[in-house]
Every structure is written in structure tokens, then in C-alpha cells.
Amino acid sequence: MSALHFYEREGLITSRRNSGNQRRFGRDTIRRVSIIKVAQQLGIPLKEIIDVFAELPAFGAPQQHQWEAMASRWQVQLQARIAQLQQLEKSLTRCIGCGCLSMKQCPLYNQNDKLSEKGPGPVLLQSGS
């Protein structure tokens, strides 16, 4: 399946059929595909791109103010991801040369295991909740 077919199936772009039943894309499709490609380079998930595009009119190129709104929204997400990655990098620094993968000491191994505070094993099954 071509990328254009995929984007069309996902509702990101639209086409018209000519008399020979061939798909024809308007000039606005170039702008939409460009935005999709930029978003993908930024690591924006397809679901997010679909959500943002759903707010645009079905036909016509996104206007400058619409692109600015998308860019602002994605900049916030990108900054959050950068902060998260920097935190992970800091944690990873501690692991270099260690290799313990200790459930108690390693900041990366089994991180965010909130249930471990309630005890070992299948805590939810044991408590019946």
C-alpha cells in the first residue's frame, strides 16, 4: 500500500476520482503530506496527527494559523519527551558499568513499580482486588 493510500484510509488526506476512476489529489495534499512528514520526524504518533487533522476542514491546505497551532501543540509534547529522555539518560548513567539490574537499586529496572511498596509477588491477586 502506498503512503498516500494509507494516509487517505486514515482520513489525513482526501482524493477525488476522475472519469477513469483514478484517484486525483489536490494541491493542498502536498501541504498536508508535508505536515505529516514533519510530524513523523518529530516522533509525533499517528493517532495524534489524526486527532489534529480531524480539526481541519476536509479540503484545502491548512492555513498558517492552523499550522502554528499544531506546531505549538507538538512543541509542548516534544519538550515533555525531551525532559523525560533526559531523566532516563541520567538514570542510565548510574547503570553504566554496573549491570546489577537490582529491583531495589536500579532506577531503570522495573521502574514505577508502585505495587512493590505493598509487598512481593502478585499483590493484586493476593488481596482479591
The reply on whether position 90 binds ligand FES by CB under 6 A is no
List the grid coordinates of 66: 492552523
- 125 by DSSP, 3-state: which? helix
What is the SS3 assignment for 23? strand
Amino acid at 65: H
Which CB sits closer to ligand FES, 40 or 102?
Answer: 102
**CA-atom Rg of the chain in angstroms:** 23
Site string for ligand FES, 93-122 (x = CB under 6 A): -xx--xxxxx--xx-x--------------
Residue 23 or 94 having the CB closest to ligand FES: 94
Cα–Cα dist 21/26, whole Å:
15
* Residue whose CB is less far from ligand FES, 50 or 106: 106
**Contact positions toward ligand FES, by CB under 6 A?**
94-95, 98-102, 105-106, 108
